[in-house]
Amino acid sequence: AQSVAQPEDQVNVAEGNPLTVKCTYSVSGNPYLFWYVQYPNRGLQFLLKYITGDNLVKGSYGFEAEFNKSQTSFHLKKPSALVSDSALYFCAVRDSVRDNYGQNFVFGPGTRLSVLP
């Protein structure tokens, strides 16, 4: 079964500085990788995904993520953080190998990002 780890519960960064939120995964087949963001009292919003192709994926709100197959990682990055980026970020993986009905979509535990003014 697939799994996702987000090793940091909390990431603090100053406004204007680059930010990284880490994610590593484990799958049996090829991974479909996703990042979601959750603002207070809201549902999860899609940021970006990696399916195949270029390892650097660009998404919403200036975020990007780099797929690294050898390190089984998919870290979320942004060159210059904004206070409004403060939220809870979830990494998720979907395994390309179907298992039973095969569409289990597994989330990491989440990383709370705080951007300080």
Measured from the CB atom, is 13 or 92 closer to other proteins? 92
Measured from the CB atom, is 69 or 83 closer to other proteins? 69
Measured from the CB atom, is 56 or 99 closer to other proteins? 99
- 3-class DSSP assignment, residue 60: helix
Q: Do β-strands 56-58 and 64-68 pair in parallel, antiparallel, or remain unpaired?
A: antiparallel
Q: How far is the CB of 81 from other proteins (least distance, A)?
A: 23
- 3-class DSSP assignment, residue 96: coil
Q: Environment class of residue 82 by beta-carbon count within 10 Å: exposed (0-12), middle (13-18) or buried (19+)?
A: middle
Q: How far is the CB of 19 from other proteins (least distance, A)?
A: 20
Measured from the CB atom, is 78 or 94 closer to other proteins? 94
HSE-up of residue 59 (Cα within 13 Å, Cβ side): 22
Binding residues for other proteins (CB under 8 A): 32, 34, 36, 42-46, 49, 51, 90, 92, 94, 96, 100-101, 103-110
Region class of 49: left (phi > 0), else alpha (psi between -120 and 50), else beta? beta
Q: How far is the CB of 117 from other proteins (least distance, A)?
A: 26
